[in-house]
Structure 1
Amino acid sequence: MQTLNDYEIIEKLGSGSYGDVMLAKQKESGLLVAIKTLEKRLLIKEKKQYQVFIEKEVLTQVKHPGLINLIASFQSSSQIYLVLEFVEGGDFANFLKINKNISQQNIVFYSAEIVSILEQLHSNGIAHRDVKPENIMVANNLHIKMIDFGTANFFDERGLNESVRDKLNELREISQQDERFMDEIDQYQQKHKATFVGTAEYVSPELLEDDICGPQSDLWALGCIIYKMFTGTTPFCDQTEYLVFQKVRACQYQNSNKIPQDAMDLISKLLVRDPLSRLGGGLPSINYLYQDSKNTYRELKSHPFF
């Protein structure tokens, strides 16, 4: 069993709601890694054990070149540690800021890579639920990797083994019990929402109206990202979060002369209010899900844009 003593901490890369992300070096191999630390006290207080378990299970069960690799996990009396592959190139949001005039060929390339990642996740019954440029890393070889599965969810558990399903049910029960901390949680959520402007521009109508965020919400976010790659801004961008949400609810966005016709057609078929009507919204047929659907990733990947 590994411990933190097996790693040399180099520097802090960033901070999250429940801990820090540290750049470290594996003492035995010299491998550079990113260690995500999570404070147990905060996870228990805010009933997030369920999400940590899901993040670990997603990265353990699903393998794809476009997913961050989980190298190891261990814990101390006060912390949970996830040892992740270190991606040196920075996030996609920063990449787009630097490369303001990205070519259509590269936009198609990165769009196809995101589609490939989402197809793999969705075919395994997993919705990411927070797809945005800040949660996509660009490696030195210019390929992308999706990160941060802290809000992911298993929308279909048929592919999970019994022990994993039992653990998920146990953690769900814990998250639903004991209301002692609800006031504190509400305060946290309000604070979190107030600083969540980046994600607000990628949020789907069903999340705003019904508090539902399934795999089709990832396809909505894909449409927003493609729009941003062509124009430099998101389709529902506005001065305040409230105005952004109003535009999202109304599915109100402008066609842009910066976007070619085939790309605009794809965007218009992803930014659809009805989740099941989005292109690919019947979800994938890689493994076993939705084999009879006529609106799968096959149709999405066959769009002329690609």
Structure 2
Amino acid sequence: MYKRGANASTSRGIAAEGATIAIWRRSAIIAIRTMPYANVNSKTLFFTLSPSQSSTASPLTVLFVHGLGSSSSFFQPLVPSLTSQGYQCLTVDTHGSGLSPYTGHGNTTASIAADAIALLDSQGITENVVVVGHSMGGIVASLLAAEDSASKQQRFKAVVLIGPVNPNPGAAEVFGKRISIVEKDGMEPLAASIPTTATGSKSTPLVHAFIRSLLLGISPAGYISLCQAIAESAVPAYESIKVPLLVIAGAEDKSAPMDGIIHIMENYASTKKELRTLEGVGHWHVLEAFSEVQEIIGGFLKELQSLK
């Protein structure tokens, strides 16, 4: 147990034991639950499982994998609606992002996928999963689905890609420039530019502020590692993936251009494939067009259930 100021004459102290923190205010004691972390693959990952316990009637678990310079908070606006419809939602900060500390051991898209599998296993979630990936997370989502198909485990029932990045030879140059900026000046230059340059015409100052906060919340070393992960990523085996696919694109998305999205769509082996394009939206789809994204994903999941 860790204690601070536990002496009776001290007006305030903090103690932690297990997953509970107790705060003393003279005679009052308030118990506060600590935030959820999972220790997987020698990393400590922050995650949120909503609701914390799935009922036997819960039809699907939705696993969310965020993109570069983001965190699980990007998906949080979607969670209340999906849980109200009976779905379980699992969000996670990837290694080196958000509240998941960077260990210095580096990232690859394959290692992020392995961390996601380990997190699912740690929560006892072995079936009926729909993976939702944004941007870099789209690569990870496709890797997860391809590996699942190869192993014939059938853990994943469908894939949702939001502004997915398609690995390509030009990525090394693009992300090499970002790495140089961050190595020299930290995250501030990107936080000052990306919120406005990577969003669409419907975006608002509030959205820009949210994105700025996400970017400033990641460690420079963690960001650099994820840039390298994208630049060096292999192309997922799209042709091996047969589960239903939903792709959500922004009509004004410069980071995930339509030609790359069409390539992904055409190469997936799924018999059920759907592309939805959001007008006036750039690369931060959930923040820019929350209601539309929520409705599209909710409808897709409902239709998925009807296919049984």
Q: What TM-score, normalized by structure 2, do the two folds share?
A: 0.29
TM-score by length of 1: 0.29
More helix by share: 1
